[in-house]
Amino acid sequence: MYFVTAMVSSLVLSMPFFHQPGVKLSFIDTLFTAVSALSVTGLTVVNTAETFNQYGVLVLTIIIQIGGIGLMTLGTFIYVVIGRNIGLSARRLMMIDQNRHQLSGLVRILQFVFICTLLIESVGAVLLTLRLYFAGYVDSFKHAFYYGTFHSISAFTNAGFDIFGNSLYNFQHDYFIQTVIIILLVLGAIGFPVLIETWEYVKRRDRKFRFSLFTKITTTTFIILLLIGTLGVFLLENNNFLADKSWHEKLSYSFFNSVTARNGGFSTMDIAQFTAPTQFLLSTMMVIGASPSSVGGGIRTTTFAIVLLTILAYAKGNTEVRAFHRRIHQDDVMKSFVVFSSAMLLVVSSVICLDAFEAQRHSLNSVIFEVSSAFGTTGLSMGITSNLGTDSKILLIILMFIGRIGLLSVLLFFRREKKAKIRYPEERVIIG
Amino acid sequence: MYFVTAMVSSLVLSMPFFHQPGVKLSFIDTLFTAVSALSVTGLTVVNTAETFNQYGVLVLTIIIQIGGIGLMTLGTFIYVVIGRNIGLSARRLMMIDQNRHQLSGLVRILQFVFICTLLIESVGAVLLTLRLYFAGYVDSFKHAFYYGTFHSISAFTNAGFDIFGNSLYNFQHDYFIQTVIIILLVLGAIGFPVLIETWEYVKRRDRKFRFSLFTKITTTTFIILLLIGTLGVFLLENNNFLADKSWHEKLSYSFFNSVTARNGGFSTMDIAQFTAPTQFLLSTMMVIGASPSSVGGGIRTTTFAIVLLTILAYAKGNTEVRAFHRRIHQDDVMKSFVVFSSAMLLVVSSVICLDAFEAQRHSLNSVIFEVSSAFGTTGLSMGITSNLGTDSKILLIILMFIGRIGLLSVLLFFRREKKAKIRYPEERVIIG
Ligand SMILES: [K+]
Ligand SMILES: [K+]
């Protein structure tokens, strides 16, 4: 399914009709662009504005939109099926009359996601268009609308594609545009379930409304990570990149980079200008990624939170892992650890491979950064992606793919249905 | 206990009587050397041969020996107490009459470890001394004995300290010495329980003798990691450092570096000459480390193996993790994951800190390498350790300490005894 869409997309994108005059695109570059768009990663091997004409950009927008909405629908569907709203009996019922229920559920969810997405993107597009036009960034209202709409969609789906040619460098002092983009990025990356529950909360005006554990964990982790990222960039760069900047520039660069590393992929500056520890910090942030059931990739905020909580619980000697006065199910703890550790193995081996493919043409910083960016489907880049060899590009395509559909799904793909028949005797071993 | 020994050691080492003429040692450098010796890491901030005179080297040998034997005794003790030889009833019995049993057990174990260690080290010392003397590396038999003994002890305890001044660079073509060192390193790092069981196996000559699950897992993992390391170094360097070398040099450099990265810390060449991916590969090997209940550090081979097995079991849909026709206890799986993930968090944050402390004076490769080397108590270095600032040295001291006593013990240190009283209701969340 995903493969087919990626192939069709890359076929369409390869048609010269959609290119700027004189542009020739290799197969691997088209595939890379298609996967990057469909997985809303935003890593690019070619400059979007210089490669695609207006029709090409339209196709790209559609691919991004399909990718984004597909993810949100799927995520929301998972949330509803295993979510809190459905008690055990209701779930039972659903299993008996599966087809009808699932279908009507899916249709309703699709409707909801569609309307939500359109609404948020429209508001974003209007704000960006007006600002672009009235602040005189573009010469005609038509252009303002073109740029405004594209970047609103690119921001809300966290695709991070830009058609300015240099991401948001032009707006490094335009805090209005930055704010709009940040809000769009966060709304997309925080997870649709969170939006749904917040919407319900507002609608019901009920003091007794209880947010689900999932929403609490993911939102708290999301916010804490944003703060840590901001503080981290600030502390590490205060004597370096930020040294000669004003207080609001310091705040803006720190916060924007923290947000964009979560999953966005836009940038208001050249990340290569940061020092190595900052780049490494941003890499770890990208690997952690966004919320589950969002447009984001990586290991996801909940995974990271549960791993941390389990370590703390273990240190405290608690037999159960807790958060917000709830016990976390042992299966979820195991899942988190499986995701976390397989992610580490994947990232580390990818770094070694990419580093070996590139035969030391690029620094380890930048290799770690691009691998993290692909796995986290973030799309930030230190600028080396377009210079990579074909083998490296294939590796990044695979990483974007895995980061997108999630490691758990990849692992489950290999799962066979047969149950364990022989139960072996147990034996203890010494750990650590 | 450990702290006290470290402090006493560093006090003794700071006495000018043990130094070469004209040497002045700062407090932090003495502490660093003491911790490095006691934790048998082998990272050095000063050149051992140029800093300490013969008496100083003797003190160092004693510290290393205490560190090594302490670890082996402790490790063996843990193995015996929770090991396979003690059935549940026997363990019960021990708990009733705890003092006497544990004491007599400890004395017997200490005896055994002592004799074993002396035996192995003596054989090593004799072989090294003879070779050093007859191959004409040194001018007198006394010197041959001095060097031979020191390096035999340093190898078996995996301390990796050298008093040649340039590790084993002089012996990069002496395969006899390399082989002796490799055997000593492996015997030290493979874990005392493995030696005990092998000894029992040989003694009994019993076809029905069953090796414990621990021994099987740790030995298999150890060997597989050695092979992967050798192959990895070979593949990554075949067109680089190894390009102009003969086949036996290729084999020697690949294998020796794989062994030494497990935990040894000796080197026959300058690691900085390797390419970045090789350095990164060796870093991951050092973080994995040696066997539990050995002189090695890191997350330990069993932890790594169980994490891998669990991921595989999860992918296959097995509810239980198996190895060698045995089930692995759920508690051990959890422990492994806790160790693995806290190690990752520790290493990643240490890299960011060290990188920030050093204000980009050193490349990310080398920072990752030194951090991994300290945490794995390996002691390999890309040569930056002696140029580090005091804050960085303190960080490495802490890492060596944690790597030595193991993350599990560090976490358990914070554990309070009180049991969880309130049992919270459980709620599922979405992972990955
Ligand atoms: K993105
Ligand atoms: K060592």
Per residue of chain A (432 residues), what is the pLDDT tens digit?
Answer: 667 777 788 878 877 777 777 777 888 888 888 888 888 888 888 888 788 888 888 888 888 888 887 777 766 666 666 554 433 333 433 443 333 444 456 677 777 778 888 899 999 999 999 888 888 788 888 888 888 999 999 999 888 888 887 878 888 888 888 999 999 999 988 888 788 788 778 877 766 677 788 888 889 999 999 999 999 999 998 888 888 888 888 888 899 999 999 888 888 888 888 888 899 999 999 999 888 878 888 898 889 999 999 998 888 887 788 888 888 888 888 888 999 999 999 999 999 999 888 877 788 888 999 999 999 889 888 888 878 888 888 999 999 988 888 887 777 776 655 444 555 666 666 665
Ligand 1 centroid to Cα of residue A228, in Å, is 20
* Distance between Cα B229 and ligand 2 center (Å): 17
**Closest CA of chain B from A156, distance in Å:** 20
Of the candidate ranges A239-253, B89-103, B245-259, B335-349, the one whose mean pLDDT is the lowest: B89-103
Q: What pLDDT score does A92 carry?
A: 38
pLDDT of residue A206: 65
Span B43-60, mean pLDDT? 84
The pLDDT of B83-107, averaged and rounded, is 44
Q: What angle do CA A295, A298, A299 make, to 5 degrees?
A: 115
* Tokens read off for B361: 């004076």
Centre of ligand 2 to C-alpha B310, Å, is 29
Q: CB distance B336–A431 less than 8 Å? A: yes
- Minimum Cα–Cα distance from B237: chain A residue: A356
pLDDT in tens, A165-208: 787 888 888 888 899 999 999 998 888 878 878 877 887 776 66
Per the listing, tokens 């090593």 go with B124
Residue A227's pLDDT is 94
- How, if at all, do strands A322-323 and A326-328 pair? antiparallel
Ligand closest to Cα of A298 equals 1
The pLDDT tens digits for B352-396 are 999 888 877 788 888 999 999 999 888 888 888 878 888 888 999
| Mean pLDDT calculated for residue range B74-89 | 55
Give the pair of three-digit tokens for residue B299.
């997350």
Q: Which distant-in-sequence residues (6+ apart) come within 8 Å of A55 by Cβ?
A: A17, A18
Of the candidates B311, B411, B418, the beta carbon closest to that of A315 is on: B411
Contact B352 A280 (CB under 8 A): yes
Q: CA nearest A311: which of B142, B161, B344, B394? A: B344
* pLDDT beyond 80 at B428: no
Residue A359's closest chain B neighbor by CA? B275
What is the DSSP code (8-state) at residue B379? -
> How close is the nearest chain B Cα to the Cα of A91, in Å?
14
What number is the average pLDDT over the span B207-232?
86
From the list B277, B318, B430, the residue facing A352 with the nearest CB is: B277
Q: What distance in angstroms lies between residue A340's CA and the mean position of ligand 1's atoms? A: 20
pLDDT value of residue B282? 92
AA identity, residue A177: I
Q: Structure tokens of B2?
A: 């450990």
pLDDT band at B183 (very low <50, low <70, confident <90, very high): very high
Ligand located closest to A160 CA:
1
Ligand nearest to the CA of B43: 2
pLDDT for A86 equals 39
The confidence band for B332, taking pLDDT boundaries of 50, 70 and 90, is confident
Question: What is the whole-number distance in angstroms between the Cα of residue B70 and the centre of ligand 2?
Answer: 15
Ligand 2 ion: residues within 5 Å (CB): B 42, 158, 160, 265, 379
pLDDT at site B425: 64
**Cβ contact (<8 Å) for A360 and B429?**
no
- Record: contact A420-B318, CB cut-off 8 A: yes
- State the ligand closest to the CA atom of A296: 1
Least confident stretch, A130-144, B66-80, B180-194, B332-346: B66-80
Instruction: For residue A157, give the ligand nearest its CA.
Output: 1
- Choose the closest CB to A315 out of B280, B281, B415: B415
* Pairwise CB contact (< 8 Å): B355 & A276: yes
Chains A & B: contacts with CB separation below 8 Å: 264
CA of residue B275 to ligand 2 center, whole Å = 22
Higher pLDDT, A359 or B145: B145
**Residue B96, pLDDT score:** 38
Phi, psi of B322 (to 5 degrees): -125, 150
How buried is B246 (Cβ within 10 angstroms: 0-12 exposed, 13-18 middle, 19+ buried)?
Answer: exposed
Mean pLDDT estimate for chain B: 81
Write the residue in B277, B315, B334 that is nearest to A355 by C-beta: B277
Residue among A342, A353, A431 minimizing CB distance to B339:
A431
B315/A420 CB distance under 8 A = no
State the alpha helices, DSSP H only, in A190-212: 192-204
The answer to whether A366 touches A272, Cβ cutoff 8 Å, is yes
Phi-psi region of B21 (alpha: psi -120 to 50; beta: other; left: phi over 0): beta
Q: Residue B230 and residue B211: Cα distance in Å, rounded?
A: 27
Nearest C-alpha of chain A: how many angstroms from B44? Answer: 24
Best residue of B80, B363, B431 to probe chain A, by most A CBs closer than 10 Å = B431
Cβ-Cβ contacts under 8 Å, A356 against chain B? 235-236, 275, 277
Report the pLDDT value the prediction gives residue A371, as an integer from 0 to 100. 93
Higher pLDDT, B5 or B87: B5
Q: Select from B292, B293, B326 the Cβ nearest to the Cβ of A425.
A: B326
CA B409/CA B406 separation, integer angstroms: 6
How far, in Å, CA of B101 to CA of A386, rounded? 68
First-last CA distance in chain B: 43
Q: Which residue of B has its CA nearest to A79?
A: B430
